[in-house]
């Protein structure tokens, strides 16, 4: 029998992004690879250059390790070193991986026209996302053209604890996986962790009856949102639809009574193979 690590789900000396499953087979887990990927994850939306100090602060890795990993990723074409500034930028190797993911996501291609229609109908931003470590990553966001909406661009990340998308993802995980993730999220959030976990658990507990999770001013003072998870019929992974809008003009009642039912219906269509087939036929017709 292979040796497996107990929950919480992290191999010895592995960075936080190694968290992925209830147990990790330590004999198969490559810590050096996980650390290298952690350097790539250190870049945040809108950032173009990071130095070794930034990598050290964001990954917790020793400077000598960061130097070796950054050099290796540069040789392989995933990072580019700017000698004048002494900092690294993401290079084409990362871009090619991103395009491979998006071009291979059949659900994303199918969902786009429906996301556009949904955004126009409700006058808000609607997004499709998936888990990325302890965050949720937006695969696509469509904003309403007729109303002032706040929507993050593709590739943006939000915390699982405060975003409706993250809470919806947590709600459909097995209890032991969810508890382990919540423990890691609380630790990563620092002083605010306990309060944020309480807020997330409240929405997670309500999911069974509501069929969705809300985030009212939890991620941002003027943002309300609702999210619904569904399984991708092609590969079985959990994806999440979310809709967000300004809290000043779209109150809680709007999301509960108008937005949530429509979002749940869309998630059901995208997650049901038979309905997906009907959608395709309708589009061709």
Per-residue pLDDT tens for 174-191?
999 999 999 999 998 888
Interval 56-72: pLDDT, tens: 999 999 999 999 999 99
Q: How many CA atoms lie within 13 A of 71 on its CB side?
A: 6
- Domain covering 104-284 assigned CATH 3.30.450.40 in the classification: yes
Phi, psi of 213 (to 5 degrees): -130, 145
Q: How far apart are the first and last CA of the chain?
A: 54
CA distances from 79 to 30, 44, 71, 87 (A): 20, 14, 8, 10
Asked whether 133 and 126 are in contact (CB, 8 A), the reply is no
The pairing of beta strand 135-142 with beta strand 125-132: antiparallel
Interval 21-54: pLDDT, tens: 446 778 888 888 989 989 998 887 678 899 999 9
Residues of the chain with CATH 1.10.10.10: 16-95
- Output the CA angle 115-117-119, nearest 5 degrees: 65
Section 217-245 average pLDDT: 91
- If you classify domain 16-95 with CATH, what class do you get? mainly alpha
Residues of the chain with CATH 3.30.450.40: 104-284
Instruction: Give the integer Cα–Cα distance in Å for 137 and 208.
Output: 24
Q: Which residue has the higher pLDDT, 119 or 150?
A: 119
């Amino acid at each position: 029998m292979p040796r497996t690590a107990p929950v919480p789900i992290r191999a010895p000396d592995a960075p936080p992004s190694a968290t992925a499953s209830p147990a990790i087979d330590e004999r198969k887990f490559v810590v050096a690879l996980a650390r290298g990927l952690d350097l790539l994850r250190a870049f945040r939306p809108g950032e173009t250059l990071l130095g070794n100090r930034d990598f050290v602060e964001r990954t917790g890795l020793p400077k000598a390790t960061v130097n070796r990993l950054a050099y290796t990723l540069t040789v392989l074409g995933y990072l580019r070193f700017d000698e004048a500034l002494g900092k690294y930028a993401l290079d084409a190797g990362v871009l090619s991986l991103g395009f491979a993911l998006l071009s291979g996501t059949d659900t994303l291609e199918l969902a786009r026209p429906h996301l556009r229609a949904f955004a126009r109908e409700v006058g808000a931003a609607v997004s499709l996302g998936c888990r990325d470590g302890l965050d949720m990553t937006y695969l696509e966001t469509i904003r309403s053209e007729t109303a002032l909406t706040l929507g993050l661009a593709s590739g943006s990340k939000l915390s699982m604890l405060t975003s409706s998308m993250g809470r919806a993802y947590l709600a459909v995980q097995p209890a032991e996986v969810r508890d382990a993730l919540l423990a890691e999220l609380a630790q990563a959030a620092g002083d605010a962790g306990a309060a944020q976990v309480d807020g997330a658990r409240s929405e997670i507990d309500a999911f069974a009856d509501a069929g969705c999770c809300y985030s009212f001013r939890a991620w941002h003072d003027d943002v309300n949102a609702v999210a619904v998870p569904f399984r991708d019929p092609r590969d079985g992974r959990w994806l999440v639809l979310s809709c967000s809008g300004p809290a000043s003009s779209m109150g809680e009642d709007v999301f509960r009574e108008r937005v949530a039912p429509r979002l749940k219906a869309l998630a059901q269509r995208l997650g049901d193979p038979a309905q997906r087939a009907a959608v395709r036929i309708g589009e061709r017709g």
